[in-house]
Amino acid sequence: MNFVSTRNDKEVVTASQGILKGLAENSGLYVPEKIPALDVSMDKLSKMSYQDVAYEVMKLYFTDFTEEELRNCINNAYDDKFDTKEIAPLVSCDKAYFLELFHGATIAFKDMALSILPHLMITSARKNNVSNDIVILTATSGDTGKAALAGFAGVDGTKIVVFYPNGGVSRIQELQMITTKGDNTKVVAIDGNFDEAQTGVKKMFTDADLAKRIGEKGYQFSSANSINIGRLVPQIAYYVYSYAKLVDNSEISNGDLINVCVPTGNFGNILAAYYAKNMGVPIAKLICASNENKVLYDFFKTGTYDKNRDFKLTNSPSMDILISSNLERLIHMCAGRDAKKNSELMNQLTTTGKYDITDDMKAKLDDFYGDFATQEETGKTIRDLYDKTGYIIDTHTAVAKCVYDKYVAATGDTTKTVIASTASPFKFTRSVMTAIDPKYDSWDDFDLVDELSKLGNVPIPNAIKEIRDANILHDNKCSVSGMEEAVTSFLK
């Protein structure tokens, strides 16, 4: 299995080369030459551990890894860093199944892929005889940053720089990042939003002069953002696993269709579900849930992607995104894998802030349903679900649950549905607790943590305990134009 660039079908790399590079030339993204079919039956998968299911998925993409190398990466990633042996448990609640993807070290779904990425990257470097230190550049809307820092902190042969929008993440998210230990880590708040941070990182990746300068110092850039295939492929595994567990639990029979609902910002998580569907998992509808930055909802409704709109800060900050980078991979597929056509559309996005797909391309999006939830609807969903069941979800999962309820009301489709629960409510305690009762708005952040644990009858995660009294180790700020200087000064 090789990978090709979405913007140049002549640029072909192995899995390990794609993992190391992160971003293709001309800002293209790597996609598999074809989406492989699962070669193990669902009945067999249903009896496997998460680690074994992950291997059966990843072996089909990462074909230049030996079985020993790949299993070693998987076993080092999905170990006791997760607080449950299931890794990604399914919780049945209110006529849906919540796939809890937040049991890792930083209590968000990004752990599912970022726990394995450092191991994939170091193995890839050895395979390709890379002697340079790898410098991870990452822009985060809240969760990727800490998950990447947790994965790479202290890893020999790597350095990591994380940029996040100042004031654009929750206090818990910020504390998780700025208390990170490790001499190879740097965290920087920028005076801008996530899209500007992401654009700044992409600009550095495609700067040939900068690459030459840092290369002379023994460094090379790579990415831990969801644009890296080393992030995307591991995410496919949990959708395969969730279907297998529904079969194993006799919730469905093998072959029954399910729907999947995903709160979506950068489009990587729902794209992984789309890949799982194309590998043979019986998924019917992919329900794309947006917050008030509803650029994806408008796209699925009209066929026009238009980022020319006001950027809104919401109570689901990890979805406060107007440039959904991973959508490019879907557009490339809908264009018949025509790199030239895809490049034209992406260039339009860069120059005009929008593009229109053809009617033929739009017809290929029938697998998707899009809708959005307002901040008020998000809060009401948290409160109503808690009042009804006692189960507490975070704001991003609430966006998905709200949109799922809208989907059922609009279509009458009661197909069993897996909702991707992308973060622990402890990561967004203030928004969650004030949704349950406005009185909590005046409370201290960590008093809210204690109250949430009591109300939900769930233990406080280690990720929260660790930052409670931790020292702030990163107090760096810069403008968008100062991002390059922040990186080069760190690398001396």
pLDDT by residue (tens digit) across 163-215?
999 999 888 999 999 999 999 999 999 999 988 998 999 899 889 999 999 99
CA distance 56 to 39: 8
- What are the structure tokens assigned to 469, written together? 């009294």
Q: How confident is the model at residue 440 (pLDDT cuts 50, 70, 90)?
A: very high
- What are the structure tokens assigned to 87, written together? 């890794």
Read off the amino acid at residue 448. L
- What are the structure tokens assigned to 61, written together? 């993409």
Provide the pLDDT for residue 306.
Answer: 98
> pLDDT tens, 87-109?
999 999 999 999 999 999 999 99
> pLDDT tens, 33-54?
999 999 999 999 999 999 999 9
Provide the pLDDT for residue 26.
Answer: 87
Provide the pLDDT for residue 231.
Answer: 95
Percent pLDDT > 70 in the chain is: 100
State residue 290 phi and psi, 5-degree precision.
Answer: -115, 160
Q: Do the Cβ atoms of 197 and 140 come closer than 8 Å?
A: yes
Q: Please name the residue that has the structure tokens 């992308």.
A: 422
CA distance 101 to 107: 8
Provide the pLDDT for residue 223.
Answer: 82
pTM (two decimals): 0.92
Provide the pLDDT for residue 224.
Answer: 85
State residue 161 phi and psi, 5-degree precision.
Answer: -120, 125
- How far from each other are the two terminal CA atoms of the chain, in whole angstroms? 38
Q: How confident is the model at residue 417 (pLDDT cuts 50, 70, 90)?
A: very high
